């Protein structure tokens, strides 16, 4: 199973933006959703996730609001901003271009 450090630089940002684009989630929910949707192939640890969330929040691509969790405790819930939606589109275009190039290289090498 690849570790987050094995992911290409910037991939974690794309995964987080895409995950919160669907619906706002708290940190654990983001990590769990990435793991579940990747068929347990990707696992994002707290040491990678929370610095990325803070960075994305500082860049204005996500916002955080405190809400009561299912357990009745306050949890920071992250949501995509309008600028984050634009960044997600840029990230997706970049990812598609990169993955297409890698695919071509593998097919023709």
CA dist 77 to 9, 19, 23, 107, Å?
Answer: 24, 12, 10, 42
- CB atoms under 10 Å from CB of 49, counted, come to 19
Quote the pLDDT of residue 90: 96
pLDDT at 92 over 50: yes
Confidence of residue 71 (pLDDT cuts 50, 70, 90): confident
CA dist 68 to 16, 28, 64, 71, 79, Å?
Answer: 21, 14, 13, 8, 15
**Full set of structural domains in the chain with CATH:** 4-108 (1.10.10.10)
Mean pLDDT, to the nearest integer, of 44-59? 94
Quote the pLDDT of residue 49: 94
Output the average pLDDT for the chain.
90
Give the H or E element holding residue 80: strand 74-80
- What predicted TM-score, i.e. pTM, was given to this entire model? 0.87
Quote the pLDDT of residue 70: 79
């Amino acid at each position: 199973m690849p570790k987050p450090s094995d992911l290409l630089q910037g991939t974690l940002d794309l995964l987080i933006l895409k995950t919160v684009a669907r619906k706002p989630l708290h940190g654990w929910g983001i990590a769990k959703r990435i793991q579940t949707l990747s068929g347990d192939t990707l696992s994002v640890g707290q040491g990678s996730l929370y610095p990325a969330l803070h960075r994305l929040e500082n860049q204005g691509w996500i916002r955080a609001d405190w809400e009561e969790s299912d357990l009745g405790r306050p949890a920071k819930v992250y949501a995509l901003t309008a600028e984050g939606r634009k960044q997600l589109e840029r990230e997706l275009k970049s990812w598609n271009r990169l993955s297409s190039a890698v695919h071509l290289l593998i097919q023709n090498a």
